[in-house]
Amino acid sequence: MPPLHPELRRIRYLPVPPVTRGTSGVMRWFTSRMRPGRVPADMTVRHRTVPGPAGAPPVEVWVYRPRSAPSTTPALLWVHGGGHLIGHPAQDERGSVGFARELGITVVAVRYRLAPRHPAPAGLEDVHAALEWMAASAGELGIDPGRIAVGGASAGGGLAAALALLCHDRGGPRPVFQLLVYPMLDDRTALRTDIDTANMYLWSPSANRYAWSALLGRPPGSEGVSPYAAPARREDLSGLPPAWIGVGTNDLFHDEDVAYARRLEEAGVPCALSIVPGAFHGFEVPFADTGVVRGFRRAQTDALRAALFPDA
């Protein structure tokens, strides 16, 4: 495993609890009670409840929009991470506000059902319901339904990739771009025994095995796992929207993310791949103010700008 990036070495001194059924339950309880920060003066933030999938509860979304935005903007549907086990839109509020402010777009962050209480495909169906609502409510929201991107980090990146597959197959709203930040794509990574875990932080093989088991309701690597749960299981990636994938060399998901990017390209889907030397999974969270994170974030913003403002 490569050495840690110099700006990220302090992770060695931060406590990282193991991810188990018990600890994830406690973390889920805490994250479910997260509350937004103070609304910036230049932004509007609305919390909405929108229709959920057939037979399922409504879905909560948070809508971020610059006060100076024109009457119609492109939009990003953002999906939070948390291993499908924990998480809340509030954890990514800084990023949602940043995308909305820097790009002059509307960002819709979705709160979806979590495993193990709600295994796949519950979370994906919630995310799809949010996308359908965005397209159907485009006039009210002031967004261009033909310029909606989907994105997310970690499990959220996996859900964004799965959403692109679902939209391709099911019809309806079609995202123009997928922004996949160290996405969780392949349950079969949980079977690997050859991974060097030195300098690997925040997400371990044991955490990955538990998370996939909770999501799938059976052991990872089983036969017949749906690509809507593990997008890397999809054989034919043609016809999907262009993508950007970013991941660190010290991330457990590095190999599966690089493989997915290459397979997209081989299928004729443009995919930009950004690899950060010495970065571990989720490195943006504890070190948000470092230069390496600012550069990683700038790459995401530039990719969205090129996709949502192609004529600029």
Active site residues: 154, 251, 281
Query: Is the Cβ–Cβ distance between 162 and 228 less than 8 Å?
Result: yes
**Pick from 165, 104, 175: nearest CA to 134:** 175
Q: Which strands make up the sheet holding 243-248, listed edge to edge?
A: 43-50, 59-66, 106-111, 73-79, 143-153, 177-181, 243-248, 271-276
User: Residues 55-90, buried b or exposed e (16+ Cβ, 10 A)?
Assistant: eeeebbbbbbbbeebeeebbbbbbbbbbbbbbbbbb
- Measure CA 283 to chain center: 14
Q: Contact at 8 Å (CB) between 209 and 220?
A: yes
Measured between alpha carbons, how far apart are the two ends of the chain, in Å?
A: 41
* Helices (H), ranges, 104-243: 122-136, 138-141, 155-170, 205-216
Q: What is the Cα–Cα distance from 88 to 38, expressed in whole angstroms?
A: 17
